[in-house]
Amino acid sequence: MKKYIRPLVEEYGDYLLAGGWCRFTKVEVLQRGKPPSICPATDLSKALLHQLIEPRGNVGLPQMHRPQVMGILNTTPDSFSDGGKYDTVLAAEKHLIMMFDHGADIIDIGGESTRPGAEFVEAAEEISRTYPVIQALRKVSSLPVSIDTRKAEVADLAI
């Protein structure tokens, strides 16, 4: 049975998580069918502890030596957070520039509302909402993009 290890972040922990700025001393052990348990990180095997503390290579995302700011851009007409303010490419592009100017490190773009009661959106419609915005972002910035989707076709096109 697969076991999951979740470091419990604390201000003055003994270990740096992935060589970053979060520290931990204890971990939570999660396993299907069993109650979660908490144990000292020193109880882990050396190999497993090494996997948790080894610095990560650059995968195209901002370095994690400081907290990162994610700008959120919903291109849905029924977004609960912005009420559909950015459902045209021009409005979205202006908002992208504003987020970039205000220090966003990564931009998350979504084309389907997942609020309770929201209507399902077909992949083609979600692509028509997000893909032009991703192209607009590429014109003004090299910031990494996170695509907020539940559909593989949308994610594939975003890459």
Exposure string of 45-71, with b = 16+ CB inside 10 Å and e = fewer, is: eeeebeebbeeeeeeeebeeeeeeeeb
Question: What is the residue whose two structure tokens read 């992208």?
Answer: 96
CA quadruple 48, 7, 5, 57: dihedral positive or negative? Answer: negative
Judged on CB neighbours under 10 Å (0-12, 13-18, 19+), 32 is exposed
Residues 48 and 80 in one domain: no
pLDDT of 116 higher than 90: no
Q: Quick check: is 63 in a domain?
A: no
Residues 34 and 77 in one domain: no
The mean pLDDT value for 106-124 works out to 89
Percentage of residues in the chain having pLDDT higher than 70: 94
Residues 95 and 125 in one domain: yes
Residues 49 and 78 in one domain: no
pLDDT in the model for residue 47: 96
Nearest to 72 by CA among 54, 95, 50: 95
What lies within 8 Å, CB to CB, of 152 at 6+ separation is none
Q: Please, which pLDDT band fits residue 60 given cuts at 50, 70 and 90?
A: low
The mean pLDDT value for 98-107 works out to 91
pLDDT of 78 higher than 80: no
Tally of structural domains, the chain: 2
Of 54-58, 59-63, 99-103, which one has max mean pLDDT? 99-103
Helix (H, G, I), strand (E, B) or coil at 3: strand
Which domain, by its residues, includes 15? 3-53
* Single-letter amino acid code for the residue at 2: K
pLDDT in the model for residue 64: 65
Residues 127 and 84 in one domain: yes
Q: Quick check: is 64 in a domain?
A: no
To the question of pTM greater than 0.75 for the whole model, the response is no
Dihedrals phi, psi of 136, to nearest 5 degrees: -65, -40
Residues 99 and 124 in one domain: yes
